[in-house]
């Protein structure tokens, strides 16, 4: 089994020495570099390039520079998607965003994690767990969403939150760790 197959089966894998994964990450980083260095007025070029970077998009998608991701093809975004400046998506695993998702600046969505066991971690092994975000979700600035989290529909995640566990629909949640504060 290849390291990519292990990753896609949600098993421990080594991303550092797999030639295919290295090539895929370099491709994504080069595309992000091009995207981040396009002039803001080059709107049509930016739209075309972000569709090349991401796995699937709807029509109304806008991502501000600086944007970084690992692979790009594991990211899908719905209609009316906006991501502010300096966001990072570590998409070794799938990252799905629904419609009407708005993301503040300096946010991170991390599907990748590393073993707690020292010997495994020191070998460079990692794992991925998918992230899923529903429709009508707003993230304040500096939010971090960790591996394996699902966020329901009609949710507000307050600025500075670290989302470690699933968040149900129709709530306001914030904090470190992020927790439901009230229903909407």
Let me know if residue 10 belongs to a domain: yes
pLDDT for res 115? 96
What is the value of pTM for the model shown? 0.96
Would you call 73 helix, strand, or coil by DSSP? coil
Mean pLDDT over residues 27-40, rounded? 97
Catalytic position from the list 23, 58, 114, 165 = 114
Let me know if residue 98 belongs to a domain: yes
Q: Residue 139 burial (CB < 10 Å; 0-12/13-18/19+)?
A: buried
DSSP state of 84: -
| 114 phi, psi to nearest 5 deg | -130, 150
Q: Is the pLDDT of residue 17 over 90?
A: no
DSSP state of 29: H
pLDDT for res 40? 93
Let me know if residue 133 belongs to a domain: yes
Q: Is 85 a residue of the active site?
A: no
Report strand pairing: 13-14 vs 125-128: antiparallel
State how many domains the chain has.
Answer: 1
Would you call 44 helix, strand, or coil by DSSP? helix
Least confident of 3-7, 13-17, 24-28, 46-50: 13-17
pLDDT for res 89? 98
Please write down the HEC assignment for all residues of 145-173. Answer: ECCCCEECCCEEECCCCEECCCECCCEEE
Convert the pLDDT of each residue in 102-158 to its tens digit: 999 999 999 999 999 999 999 999 999 999 999 999 999 999 999 999 999 999 999
Q: What is the CATH number of the domain that holds 132?
A: 2.160.10.10
Q: Is the pLDDT of residue 162 over 90?
A: yes
Let me know if residue 170 belongs to a domain: no
pLDDT for res 70? 98
User: Residue 143 is part of which domain span?
Assistant: 3-148
Let me know if residue 117 belongs to a domain: yes
């Amino acid at each position: 089994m290849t390291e990519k197959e292990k990753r896609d089966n949600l098993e421990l894998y080594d991303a550092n020495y797999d030639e295919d994964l290295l090539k895929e990450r370099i491709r994504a980083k080069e595309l992000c570099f091009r995207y981040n260095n396009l002039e803001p007025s080059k709107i049509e070029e930016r739209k075309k390039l972000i569709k090349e970077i991401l796995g699937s998009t709807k029509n109304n998608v806008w991502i501000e520079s600086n944007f970084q991701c690992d692979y790009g093809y594991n990211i899908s975004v719905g209609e009316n998607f906006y991501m502010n400046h300096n966001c990072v998506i570590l998409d070794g695993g799938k990252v799905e965003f629904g419609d009407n998702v708005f993301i503040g600046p300096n946010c991170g969505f991390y599907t990748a994690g590393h073993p707690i066991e020292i010997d495994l971690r020191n070998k460079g092994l990692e794992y991925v767990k998918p992230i899923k975000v529903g429709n009508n979700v707003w993230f304040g600035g500096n939010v971090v969403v960790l591996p394996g989290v699902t966020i329901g529909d009609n949710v507000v995640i307050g600025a500075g939150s670290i989302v470690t566990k699933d968040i149900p629909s129709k709530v306001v949640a914030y904090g470190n760790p992020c927790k439901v504060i009230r229903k909407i």
